Structure 1
């Protein structure tokens, strides 16, 4: 993948709304191993998975800013000294 994403806020979101990654994976219709691969930046989240999260994970549709923070925040790499 050309970019590494920082999913720390997504982890918090999962804990708040699903209590566990297993429950979030079930919500998305994927296995816990597939979710782990996404959270580890090995496989990208699909548009359908993002759409499910945006529209149905809470009682309201997430804003564009919230979506960017959850799914599209680039990880900052440390510069070797």
Structure 2
């Protein structure tokens, strides 16, 4: 994954007048729809990591109060970097 260059909003607005760009940082716990844009992981791969016990409940994933499975972005980054 390439790291995007961060520019200030003022610089962006000067370069492209009339166009507003937002930079969004995901929270710690994210839904499966963000796993592909953030990590490039398909929903099928994520399901296999969870079902096979590669990702641990309450560490890499959990169920939120709305009974939806959410994933810990920080712990997944550590896992992808090879840290337990």
When normalised by structure 2's length, the TM-score is 0.29
Q: Which has the higher strand share?
A: 2
Which protein, 1 or 2, shows the higher relative CO under an 8 Å CA cutoff with sep ≥ 6?
A: 1
Greater gyration radius: 2
When normalised by structure 1's length, the TM-score is 0.30
Q: Which has the higher helix share?
A: 1
